C-alpha cells in the first residue's frame, strides 16, 4: 500500500477522489495485443529540461573551465571561485515557455524532471571524476554536489536520473543566514513566556540550515460546477414579551448553480510524501506550507552548483499520486471564486455538490529554498519547525508549549472571570 498518496488532513482537508487515470480495473496483459501495447506505452515527456552540457557531472565555468562554482550569496548568479567570473542561470519561465498558454493546456504535460520515479533507481550515484578518473559517490537523498577527494574537482548531479532527485528548476536562496537567524530569533522572542523550558535553554538559531525542498509547480486549466441551496431573508420579527422575546426569520429558498472556467498559474504542491502530510496532530509540516508563496517565476534551469553547502530533500511522489491533491486545491479555488457571485443570499449558501474537470495540467519539478530550524520535543516526539522562506523572508514556526504553565494561567484567568460573574449574579438577584 506504499503507493497511496499521503493523507493531508489538518489545514488541507480529506476528500473522496475519483479513481486515478490509468487505473483500468483490469490487467492489461489479458487484453488483445494492440490494446495492450497501447496501454503499456510510456507517457510522453513533453518538455525536456535536462541539461546535456552538464551530463558528465562537471559544471564548467564558461570562461576558464574551472569546476569550483558556487552561488553568489543573495543573488541568482553563479560565480567561479577560480577566475571570479559571474554568470546568470537561464530562467525556466522563458526557456521552456512555462508562463504562457495555460488556457490551451490539454492532458497531462510533464517536464522531464517531473517524470515518474523508477522504483529500482539507487539514491547513491557514483561518478567518475573527469579530471583524475577517481570514482566519487554522491548520496542524492540529501546532497547534490561533492568534491573529488583526490584532485578537489567539484561534481554536481546535473544529469536527470529517474530517482526523483534532479528537478527541472531551482530557485536559489536570496535570504542570507544572518537575516534568517535574526528572523527566527525575532519570531521566538514573541513566543517565550509559555515556551517549553528545554526549548528556550537549547535555542540556538545559528543552527538553522539551508534546505532545498521538492515541489511540483503546476499550471492548470479546469472547469468547476457547484450546486446548493441559498436563502434570502424576506421578513424578520419578534414574538413573546419581556424575557421570552424571540427573533424569527422568514426566507425564500433558492436552488443555486454556478459554473466557472479558470486557469491557475504556478500552484505549488509538496512532492515529498513526508512534507505533503499536513496533519497538525502529528507533525508541523503546515509551518513549511505556510511560508509559501515563492517567486517561482524567477526559477532558473537546474544546476547543482546552486546547492553547494545546502541540504536537499528528494522528491518521492509521482504526478499521478499528486493529482487528487491538485483536484482538491482547484476545487477550493473554484469555491473561493464563486463566493462573490452569491452575495445576494444574505442568509448564506449551503453548497451540496461540486464537480471538477481538469482539461489540462503542466507539471514542473522544482527545488525551493527554505531556512529550517528544528527542535525535537522529548516525550511527545513532535518535531517542531521554524521556517524562513529563502526568497521572501516570510517566517513561520511552531514553538513547543510548557503545558502546565499555560493551563495554570488559563485556569487563573477563568476563575477570576467566574468570580466576577458570581458577584454580578449574586448582587442582581
Partner 1 sequence: MSDDSGLALLLLGPAGGVGLYWALYRYYRNTDKSHAFERETKVDAKPVTGSDLKVGTNNGTRDSEIQGNNVSEYRKRVGRIRNDSG
> Given candidates 230, 360, 369, 390, which one binds partner 1 under the rule CB under 8 A?
230
Within 8 A by CB and 6+ apart from 181, the residues are 205, 206, 208
Provide the mask over 288-307, with x wherever binding to partner 1 is found by CB under 8 A and - wherever it is not: -xxxxx--------------
Closest CA to 214 of 122, 309, 140: 140
- Sign of the Cα torsion 302, 307, 310, 312 reads positive
Q: Whose Cβ is closer to partner 1: residue 29's or residue 237's?
A: 237
Min dist. Cβ of residue 389 to partner 1 (A)? 11
Establish if 150 lies at the interface with partner 1 (CB under 8 A): no
Grid cell at residue 383:
518535531
Min dist. Cβ of residue 156 to partner 1 (A)? 30
Within 8 A by CB and 6+ apart from 378, the residues are 198
Min dist. Cβ of residue 294 to partner 1 (A)? 10
Q: Whose Cβ is closer to partner 1: residue 162's or residue 324's?
A: 324
> Given candidates 20, 97, 350, 378, which one binds partner 1 under the rule CB under 8 A?
350
Establish if 252 lies at the interface with partner 1 (CB under 8 A): yes
- Sequence-ordered alpha helix ranges (H) in 281-318: 285-290
Q: Which range of residues in 29-37, 75-83, 205-213, 418-426 is near partner 1 by CB under 8 A?
A: 418-426
> Given candidates 36, 229, 282, 301, which one binds partner 1 under the rule CB under 8 A?
229
**Side-chain-side CA neighbours of residue 162 (13 Å):** 10
Provide the mask over 176-195, with x wherever binding to partner 1 is found by CB under 8 A and - wherever it is not: ---------------x--xx
Establish if 354 lies at the interface with partner 1 (CB under 8 A): yes
Establish if 415 lies at the interface with partner 1 (CB under 8 A): yes
CB count, 10 Å around CB of 351? Answer: 15
Using CB under 8 A as the binding criterion, the count of chain residues that bind partner 1 stands at 111
> Given candidates 139, 142, 159, 225, which one binds partner 1 under the rule CB under 8 A?
225
> Given candidates 49, 71, 321, 398, which one binds partner 1 under the rule CB under 8 A?
398
Q: Which range of residues in 153-161, 162-170, 241-249, 308-316 is near partner 1 by CB under 8 A?
A: 241-249
Provide the greatest CA pair distance for the chain: 97
SS (H, E, C) 86-102: EEECCEHHHHCCCCCCH
Q: Which range of residues in 70-78, 148-156, 175-183, 240-248 is near partner 1 by CB under 8 A?
A: 240-248
Please state the φ and ψ torsions of residue 320, each to the nearest 5 degrees: -60, -35
DSSP letter (8 states) at residue 290 = H
Closest CA to 211 of 149, 269, 141, 121: 141
Establish if 243 lies at the interface with partner 1 (CB under 8 A): yes
DSSP string, 157-203: --S--TTTT--SEE----S-HHHHHHHHHHHHHTT-TTB-HHHHHH-
Q: Which range of residues in 27-35, 39-47, 66-74, 258-266 is near partner 1 by CB under 8 A?
A: 258-266
Q: Whose Cβ is closer to partner 1: residue 94's or residue 339's?
A: 339
Closest CA to 232 of 341, 345, 350, 343: 345
Amino acid at each position: 500500500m506504499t503507493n497511496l498518496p499521503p493523507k493531508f488532513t489538518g489545514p488541507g482537508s480529506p476528500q473522496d477522489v475519483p479513481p486515478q487515470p490509468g487505473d483500468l480495473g483490469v490487467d492489461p496483459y489479458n487484453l488483445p495485443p494492440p490494446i495492450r501495447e497501447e496501454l503499456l506505452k510510456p507517457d510522453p515527456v513533453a518538455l525536456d529540461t535536462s541539461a546535456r552540457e552538464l551530463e558528465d557531472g562537471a559544471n564548467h565555468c564558461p570562461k576558464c573551465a574551472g569546476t569550483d562554482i558556487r552561488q553568489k550569496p543573495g543573488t541568482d548568479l553563479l560565480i567561479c571561485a577560480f577566475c571570479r567570473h559571474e554568470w546568470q542561470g537561464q530562467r525556466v519561465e522563458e526557456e521552456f515557455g512555462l508562463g504562457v498558454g495555460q488556457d490551451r493546456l490539454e492532458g497531462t504535460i510533464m517536464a522531464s524532471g517531473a517524470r515518474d520515479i523508477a522504483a529500482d533507481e539507487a539514491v547513491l550515484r557514483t561518478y567518475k571524476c573527469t579530471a583524475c578518473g577517481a570514482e566519487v559517490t554522491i548520496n542524492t537523498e540529501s546532497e547534490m554536489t561533492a568534491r573529488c577527494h583526490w584532485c578537489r574537482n567539484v561534481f554536481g548531479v546535473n544529469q536527470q536520473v529517474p530517482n526523483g532527485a534532479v528537478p527541472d528548476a531551482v530557485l536559489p536562496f536570496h535570504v542570507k543566514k544572518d537575516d534568517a537567524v535574526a528572523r527566527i530569533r525575532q519570531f521566538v522572542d514573541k513566543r517565550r513566556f509559555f515556551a517549553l523550558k528545554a526549548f528556550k535553554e537549547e535555542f540556538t538559531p545559528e543552527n538553522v540550515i539551508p534546505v532545498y525542498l521538492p515541489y511540483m509547480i503546476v499550471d492548470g486549466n479546469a472547469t468547476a460546477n457547484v450546486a446548493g441551496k441559498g436563502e434570502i431573508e424576506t421578513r424578520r420579527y419578534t414574538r413573546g414579551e419581556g424575557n421570552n422575546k424571540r427573533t424569527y426569520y422568514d426566507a425564500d429558498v433558492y436552488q443555486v448553480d454556478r459554473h466557472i472556467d479558470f486557469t491557475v498559474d504556478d500552484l505549488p504542491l509538496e512532492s515529498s510524501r513526508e512534507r505533503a502530510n499536513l496533519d497538525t496532530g502529528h507533525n508541523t509540516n503546515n509551518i513549511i506550507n505556510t511560508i509559501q508563496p515563492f517567486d517561482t517565476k524567477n526559477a532558473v534551469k537546474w544546476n547543482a552548483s546552486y546547492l553547494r553547502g545546502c541540504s536537499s530533500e528528494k522528491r518521492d511522489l509521482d504526478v499521478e499520486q499528486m493529482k487528487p491533491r491538485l483536484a482538491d486545491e482547484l476545487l477550493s479555488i473554484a469555491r473561493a471564486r464563486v463566493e462573490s457571485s452569491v452575495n445576494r443570499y444574505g442568509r448564506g449558501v449551503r453548497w451540496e455538490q461540486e464537480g471538477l474537470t481538469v482539461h489540462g495540467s503542466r507539471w514542473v519539478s522544482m527545488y525551493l529554498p527554505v531556512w529550517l530550524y528544528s527542535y525535537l520535543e522529548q516525550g511527545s516526539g513532535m518535531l517542531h519547525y521554524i521556517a524562513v522562506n529563502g526568497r521572501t523572508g516570510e517566517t513561520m514556526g511552531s514553538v513547543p508549549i510548557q503545558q502546565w504553565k499555560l493551563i495554570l494561567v488559563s485556569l487563573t484567568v477563568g476563575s477570576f472571570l467566574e468570580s466576577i460573574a458570581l458577584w454580578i449574579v449574586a448582587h442582581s438577584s
